[in-house]
Chain A
Amino acid sequence: MAAPAIRIRNLVTRLGDRTVHNELNLDIQTGCLTAIAGSSGSGKTVLLRAMALLLPPVAGTIELFGQSTTTLSRSAERGLRGRMGVMFQHGALFTGMTVLDNVAFPLLEHTALPRSAVYEIARIKLRLAGLAPEAATLYPSELSGGMTKRAALARSLALDPELLFLDEPTAGLDPVGATAFDELIVHLRDLLGLTVILVTHDPVSLWEIADEIAFIGEGRVLASGPARTLAQSAEPAVRCYFGGTRMQRAGASWDQE
């Protein structure tokens, strides 16, 4: 088996005085669509931020593509950041730029391509994320919730990352929009050969699109595996999470298919 894209060993993170993760271990395989699940406040987003090099760990190691991230030179860090894209929960689009400029921004920063090529690539990314051409010249404040998510996804794909981090991609979308977004994520993974890590609460996403689920609780990974396996887990917290009615219904409809 190929080396994992991300290898986390004995990770400890703190927010203020509160220890969020304690000796957490996790491997994420290349090309895999891994969901990070867990109840609210279990540190899913914090883990995502740690993996995306946005939050330095207190102890432990995170290896991205076999490269340790604890002692990175500035140029190595910049190189790594070019290989990953992050889509934030609320989009975090730059409010002073149009959607197209938002997507073009990382390209202009990281490459020496001329503007015409950059904007051509940016337009492809918007298309890839399923945005209409009319949306390109809008400002973030003029976008609907679904369009904001898609624009944020387009920006996170700007540099053709190998790793894509998605924080609650379907939160706040209507059911149709959420399903479409799930399908889009799978489509992009297949088309671009991405390794996707998504933090989600959406039972449908967990059952339908995740290859692997890492269930976080008590500061560590309580269980991991496909939804089917986790639903039968012996761990009480995991069983409780997957035993909820919403989760059951999503699982039942998945079984029928």
Chain B
Amino acid sequence: MHVIRETLATTESEPRLSWRIAQRRVVCSGNWSVARLAAVERQIRRNVPMTSGEWRINLGEISTLDTAGAVMVQRLCRRLRAAGASVQLEGVSAERHAVLKLAASEMGMVPRRPRSNPLERLGRRITSGCLGIIEYLAFIGRLTADSLPRVLRPHRLRWHEIAVELERAGVMAIPIIGLLAFLIGIVMAYQSGNILENYGANVFLVDLLGVIILREMGPLMTSVIVAGRTGASYTAQIGTMQLTEEIDALRAMGVTPFEMLVLPKFLALLIALPLLTVWADAMGLLGGMLVSDLLYGVDFEVFLQRLPTAVPADMFWVGIAKAPVFAALIASIGCYQGFRVRHSADEVGRYTTISVVQGIFWVIVADAVFSIVLFSWLGL
């Protein structure tokens, strides 16, 4: 066995190149191992003289020479040859010969991955963007085809999985959604109360808060939080399962991942989001009520008495009716992005981000559509 390394004491010396230009010699000494080579590499790059004739490189004083060191020796040879000299190595022991030979026989240039030009990249982005919508629709189609038979026969649904997802997406989101809705209720009451007070119209706080929280803020805030919490976790979970071939394992067992993974998540969110919206509505109104009472003299009794007359029940139902639509958008986008992960851990991060951004984006778009359709066409 050839052991190139020697005792620890000698490995402490720095690698060095000594130029004896008159004699056309270079003496290499010290420890030529990978961690110490940066200085030598700089010397090789900068200090090689323009020369000709026969140069000799002495390696006899090198204490340690690893493959990186051998590469450096070969780089030195190449530089000298490029400068016009011929090079001979001396002081090469038998065991170092093999390593030096290996470094000299560097494999041919690695073929480069073809680089695309900017125009091509732009084209690809646009087509993949357009195809993305088609792919998403195809995903919805497959999801429907796989799950419809189950949904029509509810005893064949995976109730256990649905319950688990319901707990994760719904029950565990209660504290954060409650707290945020409460704070938003406080902020809105505080800001709008300030203005209404100028007109002595404090009591209209009830109307304002009722409409905004029940109709818009409740469902919208809840959906945004759920998209960030649950939509992201759906993508990350399914994406990681893609990488570890768990999805393929399910397919191989004849279980479609849609029915096993997506449908329970979808149904669970469909149930959880309206319920969370009710909770957010309640907490938001509580926050608003607190501020109205403390700062604007609209006490709890007045507030609660006025609320049913000031805000028609329709407002509440419109808010609640939006929630399942938002839930469907968040769940389907979250799962779809998860299935797009193919090769790398990078993609899990990338598609999780996309899932959250698109989830929130489409929720807001859907909300705008609701406002237009319900308000101007149906007059609700």
Contacts and interface: CB of A to CB of B under 8 A. Distances in A.
A124 B71 contact: yes
Contacts of A146: none
A111 B37 contact: yes
Contacts of A127: 102, 105-107
A162 B67 contact: no
B37 A113 contact: yes
Contact of B4 (A113, A136, A192): A192
Interface stretch (A8-16, A114-122, A172-180, A242-250): A114-122
B346 A95 contact: yes
A123 B75 CA distance: 14
Given A124-B106, A133-B111, A141 B344 contact: yes
A110 interface: yes
A191 B68 contact: no
B1 A193 contact: yes
A192 B67 contact: yes
Counting contact residues on chain B (CB < 8 A from A), the size range is 35 or more
B37 A137 contact: no
Contact of A159 (B1, B35, B111): B35
Most buried by B among A65, A98, A137, A193: A193
B153 interface: no
A248 to B, nearest CB: 29
Contacts of A128: 67, 102
Q: Which among B107, B109, B110, B343 has the highest number of chain A CB atoms within 10 Å?
A: B110
B98 A82 contact: no
A96 B34 CA distance: 25
Contact of A160 (B34, B105, B343): B34
Interface string B341-368: 0111110000000000000000000000
B14 interface: no
Contacts of A94: 345
A189 interface: yes
A191 B107 contact: no
B112 to A, nearest CB: 7
A141 B45 CA distance: 37
A253 B5 CA distance: 35
B2 A190 contact: yes
Contact of B113 (A124, A133, A137, A193): A137
Given A112-B38, A160-B34, A160-B67, A123 B110 contact: yes
Contact of B68 (A31, A96, A160): A160
A133 B35 contact: no
A189 B35 contact: no
A105 interface: no
A100 interface: yes
Given A95-B344, A111-B34, A112-B38, A121 B67 contact: yes
B5 A193 contact: yes
A93 B377 CA distance: 57
B33 interface: yes
A88 interface: no
A107 interface: yes
Contacts, number: 106
A18 B39 CA distance: 49
B66 A160 contact: yes
Interface string B93-109: 00000110011011111
A139 interface: yes
Contacts of B212: none
B23 to A, nearest CB: 28
Nearest to B66: A160
Contacts of A257: none
Nearest to A134: B111
Contacts of A137: 110-113
A121 B344 contact: no
B37 A123 contact: no
Interface string B60-77: 000000111001100100
Contacts of A110: 34-35
A117 B68 CA distance: 9
Contacts of A117: 37, 41, 71-72, 75
A183 to B, nearest CB: 15
Given A117-B41, A127-B102, A191-B98, A160 B346 contact: no
Contact of B2 (A112, A139, A160, A191): A191
Nearest to A117: B41
A126 interface: yes
Interface string A184-205: 0000011111000000000000
A107 B34 contact: yes
A157 B67 CA distance: 10
B243 interface: yes
24 contacts: A31-B1, A95-B343, A95-B345, A96-B344, A98-B113, A107-B34, A111-B68, A113-B37, A117-B71, A117-B72, A117-B75, A120-B106, A123-B106, A124-B71, A126-B107, A127-B105, A127-B107, A133-B108, A133-B110, A139-B343, A160-B34, A160-B66, A160-B67, A193-B1
Given A65-B8, A111-B37, A137-B110, 9 more contacts: A117-B37, A117-B41, A120-B71, A120-B75, A124-B103, A127-B102, A140-B344, A191-B2, A191-B102
Q: Which 5 A-B pairs have the closest CB atoms?
A: A95-B344, A112-B38, A160-B66, A96-B346, A141-B343
